[in-house]
Amino acid sequence: MTKRLLGLMTALTVAVGGSLAAAAPAQAATPAIEITKVYYDSPGVDNRSNASLNAEYVKLTNRRSRTINLKNWTLRDKANHVYKFSGDFKLAKGKSVIIRTGKGKNTASTRYWGSGNYVWNNTGDTAYLRNASGKQIDKCAWTKKGKGYTNC
């Protein structure tokens, strides 16, 4: 009887463990911070004015139920242009932040790359979001001009 009970417990442990292991990837599929939109082609003429540069942006959204500190997180493109969140930057649950290419005054909802050149290629590029330790958290890619923006 002891062997039969032990066998039953082992089978139950494997069954429960297997179902828990199967559930983990589904939860891991949604990143804590998502790239939700990239406006890669600012409207109008690309004249490198600050207004035109700032019309090019990336929107990040916190999908978790808690605030996440983005200190030292990076946003980059295929050519390795890098924006780095400096200092403590806390993104509250459910909130978004927009990173604009040009210059401006940083706020809780808008950050500025400070670039005098466009970052995102109109005909195709990839935006990569990495945490402070360099692990890729999310990415968003487009392969043609399209509407000038993509929802990720």
What are the average pLDDT values for consecutive 10-residue runs of the chain, which has 152 residues? 42 40 50 96 93 98 97 97 95 98 97 97 97 97 92 94
Distance, in Å, from the CA atom of 54 to the CA atom of 119, rounded to the nearest integer, reads 11
Looking at residue 28, its pLDDT comes to 54
**Widest pairwise Cα distance in the chain:** 82
Quick one: pLDDT at residue 104?
A: 98
Supply the pLDDT for residue 39. 98
Contact 116, 48 (CB under 8 A): yes
Would you state the pLDDT for residue 29?
66
